[in-house]
Amino acid sequence: MIKKVKFINYEEEIYKIFMDQNNLYCSVSNKVLELSSGIEDYCLEYFNNSIWIAFYDKTYRISLIEICLKYNEEIKLKKHFSMETSKYCNSIDLLEMNIKNKEQINLIFRGWNKTKTKALIYNNKIAASNNLRIISDGISSGSSKPYMVYSYEDMAYILLCEENPNHEYVIYDLLNENITTSFNLANAKNISLITYEQQPILFYSKKVSNNLELKFRNINLDKVDEVLKDEISLDLPKNIKDPIISTFMNKVYVVWKDEKGINTAKSENLKEWNFNLYKNKPISASIIKVINNKAEKINTYFNANIITNYIYSENNNNIQSENNLINISGENTIENKIKYINKISELTRKYNKRYNEYLRRINELNKIIDEKDRLIGELLNKR
């Protein structure tokens, strides 16, 4: 089963990184290369004309590889790093990566003890000598999303979502390896931290009158006081569960599941939203578009059959252009257009049938008129 698909739109090519069963693959221009087998999970970043992929296997060994994109259709693979985590923890279940330069590659992961009752958040700075540090002491063990990485321009931070009575959140500076600030935010769930209009924005869900509502605040990541700005509500449906929030091509996307299917909301100003609904079986996927050697990324869902066809298609030229790439994420819009065209065709057939009936009646009337003219002509001739 194909899962965790990522499309990288680089110049004229679409690179597709994905897992099938527990194997990791790269596909481009009808070529598919197995990158590794026995993989539990992976993450990737675009940096300096290369795709950097970090993954861990069933033995919880973390590896880092690089795919250079400057060789056009060739897949040039370079192995950089491998680390056994068994001497630090018994298992891991989360892995993220941040790259600022080749001397500043950070791998952040959560490692568990043998009984899975305590977890630590580790930061490994890969350089000439590996630098592994514990940045959280395990009080976030019960959280499915205990941290998130925020990276923009020359900044790189980790937001640690600590579980404690004070609802404390800690900002850790990855580049300087220290805590910069912290803040309290009571009753917040589904925290997301993204860049919007060149500023960090904190999104979260909050219960209001027994309903979950999406809120956001501007946040100062390096200030001790006045870390959070005023809370602002989003004009989105209530009780959205586990929203995925991304910025892509100057737009904000909110994606979530409910009993109807997969919903997407898109906005250019955080005030007005366009909605779409996916009813077909979806799989999670990401689009990374490289513009001027910088990556724009959106996390979303796609129709499973369509994604499978894109990955294994012998001819993928139909997703080479920017517009068509963006339209992949607007799959539901295409389906609606098809339904609209079908409806128009049905109406056309209906009115064509009526039109043909009118023509038949007009022909009959013409025959009657011709017969009448003939009879009148005969009567006039008899006179």
Are residues 98 and 178 part of one domain? yes
Are residues 154 and 121 part of one domain? yes
User: Given this model, what pLDDT does residue 343 score?
Assistant: 62
User: Given this model, what pLDDT does residue 310 score?
Assistant: 66
Residue 138 belongs to domain with CATH number: 2.130.10
Are residues 325 and 343 part of one domain? no
User: Given this model, what pLDDT does residue 88 score?
Assistant: 85
Are residues 346 and 226 part of one domain? no
Are residues 343 and 322 part of one domain? no
User: Given this model, what pLDDT does residue 351 score?
Assistant: 67
Are residues 236 and 123 part of one domain? yes
- Expressed as residue numbers, the domain containing 362 is 331-383
Alpha helices in the chain (DSSP H): 304-312, 322-329, 331-382
Are residues 193 and 129 part of one domain? yes
Report pLDDT digits (tens) over 61-100.
999 999 998 766 677 888 888 888 888 888 898 899 999 8
Are residues 366 and 380 part of one domain? yes
User: Given this model, what pLDDT does residue 325 score?
Assistant: 46
User: Given this model, what pLDDT does residue 41 score?
Assistant: 95
Evaluate the CA torsion angle 174, 175, 177, 180 in order and state its sign.
Answer: negative
User: Given this model, what pLDDT does residue 316 score?
Assistant: 46
User: Given this model, what pLDDT does residue 285 score?
Assistant: 83
User: Given this model, what pLDDT does residue 322 score?
Assistant: 39
Cα gap 167→187, rounded to integer Å = 8
User: Given this model, what pLDDT does residue 9 score?
Assistant: 87
Q: Which of 311, 330, 349 is the last residue of a domain?
A: 330
Closest CA to 237 of 277, 279, 200, 201: 277
User: Given this model, what pLDDT does residue 130 score?
Assistant: 63
User: Given this model, what pLDDT does residue 38 score?
Assistant: 93
Are residues 377 and 235 part of one domain? no
Report pLDDT digits (tens) over 360-381.
787 777 777 777 667 766 666 6
Question: Residue 334 — φ and ψ, nearest 5°?
Answer: -60, -45
Q: Are 97 and 44 in contact (CB under 8 A)?
A: yes
Cα gap 100→173, rounded to integer Å = 13
Q: Residue ranges of the chain with pLDDT lower than 50?
A: 128, 314-326, 328-329, 331-335, 337-338
User: Given this model, what pLDDT does residue 333 score?
Assistant: 47
